[in-house]
Amino acid sequence: MRERLKAGEFVLGMTVTSNNVETAAHAATLGFHFLWCEMEHSSLSLESLRTMVLATRGLPAPVFARVPWPEVWLAKRVLDQGVQGVIFPFVSDAERAQKAVHGCHYPPFGRRGSGAGLAVATWPAPGSYYDSADANVLVVCVIEEAEAVDRIEEIAAMPGIDVIFIGVSDLSFSLGLRGRQDEPLLEEAITKIVAAAQRNGKWLGRPAGSAEDVRRFHQQGFQFFQSLTELGLMKLGAKALLEPLGIKDKPQAQTTFY
C-alpha cells in the first residue's frame, strides 16, 4: 500500500459491512488493494473483525478498520486484532487528529499499549512487530465537517497522519447541502482541503463508486479510494445478469452514497 502511494499510484478498497467472514476472505482475492471494514455505519463487531484478519492472512488485500470516533482506545482495540490501517471519522480539529496518531503508534511518539499478542500472530512482516507496526500502520483521517475545513491547516500539519480522506457526503450535509455533490460551496471546501493536504505531504482520499470515478479523481491528485460495499457489488452483479433477461430490480425510494 505504502509503496503504491509513494509511487503516485492509487489504492482501492472494498467496503465490508456484513458480519460474514466468507465475504471478506473472498473479497481479499478479487484485486482490491485493501478491505475497508466499516465499524462506524454497520453492525461489524470486534470479534468478526478479528475473524476477518485471520481469514485473510497471506491474501493480497490487508484489512483496515474504520472506528466510530477518533479515540486512542478505539484505535488500540482494532490494531490489537491485527489490522494494518485505521480510519478515523470526524477528525475536525488538531486534538482529534492527535488522538488518531497517538492511538496508532507506540511511545514515545504515541500512546498505544504493548499488549499486541493477537496482532503479532497475524502480522505479515518478520522481525519486531512494534517497529514494523509503527513504520507501516496507515493512519487515515476523515474530513467531513465544516469545522474541519476551517481548521484543515492544523489537521493536515499533524505528524503521523498519512491520508486526508474527504467524506464528501457528510461534508455536504455539514455545509447545509443535504448530500448534494454538485454545489460550488462543496467544491470550494474540497479545493481547500486538497491544497492543505498537498502542502503538508499527505496523501488524499475520497469515495469512488466506479472505474470512471477512480480515473477522474486520480487525475485530480486523489490516491486512496473507498469503493462499493459487498451489497453494492452484489447489486451490480445481479443487474448485469438479470437485465438482459428483462428482469429489473424494484425501484427504491432511497439509496446510500456508496
- pLDDT tens-digit map of 52-103: 999 999 999 999 999 999 999 999 999 999 999 999 999 999 999 999 999 9
Return the C-alpha torsion angle 107, 110, 112, 118, nearest 10.
-80
d(CA 15, CA 199): 29
- Shortest CA distance to 163 belongs to which of 52, 81, 66, 228? 66
Decide: 189 and 175 in contact? Cβ < 8 Å. yes
Angstrom distances, CA of residue 216 to CA of 200, 207, 211, 243: 23, 12, 9, 28
Report residue 178 CA to chain centroid gap: 22
The set of catalytic residues is 41
In order along its 258 residues, the chain shows pLDDT tens digits of 999 999 999 999 999 999 999 999 999 999 999 999 999 999 999 999 999 999 999 999 999 999 999 999 999 999 999 999 999 999 999 999 999 999 999 999 999 999 999 999 999 999 999 999 999 999 999 999 999 999 999 999 999 999 999 999 999 999 999 999 999 999 999 999 999 999 999 999 999 999 999 999 999 999 999 999 999 999 999 999 999 999 998 777 666 655
What are the grid coordinates assigned to 249, written together?
A: 430490480
Residue 226 parent element (H or E) = strand 222-229
The neighbouring-strand residues paired with 143 are: 166
